[in-house]
Amino acid sequence: MKYDNLIVKAIEAREKAYVPYSHFKVGAALITEDDSIYTGCNIENCSYGATNCAERTAIFKAVSEGYRKIKAIAIVGDEKNYTAPCGICRQVISEFADKDIDIIIVKDKDNYKIKKMNEILPDSFTKDNLL
């Protein structure tokens, strides 16, 4: 499947998660417009609200390297469930994604669901609202 490599990268990134409070590891991997891959994990903080999700870690890494558009992003939490992006991450992904990009919600290497950006964040607030 075209996202096999991205899924493996998200699973590998999950191993780097810093999760002393929730013990819930999350990994993410995204593809940029020129097919570079950036990965991220969740990074918790003793001031819980300062925690950064895996998806945002990956996006901020890519954006800070100059990228402004992602073509797809895979997310993996524990192997018992499908872990979908939280609300804040949906908003952050949408800032750098067209409405029809694939969001790959992964349970394990062989089990994943593909959703469109627009499906997971319909009727969203966008930069156009600020014009």
Point out the residues that are catalytic.
55
In order, the DSSP letters of 12-42 are HHHTT-B-TTT----EEEEEETTS-EEEEE-
Residues forming a β-bridge with 112: 106
| Closer Cβ to ligand THU, 44 or 102, answer by number | 44
Site mask for ligand THU (CB under 6 A), range 58-97, x = bound = ---------------------------xx--x--------
Q: To the nearest whole angstrom, how small is the minimum distance from the Cβ of residue 49 to ligand THU?
A: 11
d(CA 63, CA 17): 20
Q: From CA 53, how far away is CA 13, in angstroms rounded?
A: 12
Which residues contact ligand THU (rule: CB under 6 A)? 19, 22, 24, 26, 42, 44, 51, 53-55, 85-86, 89
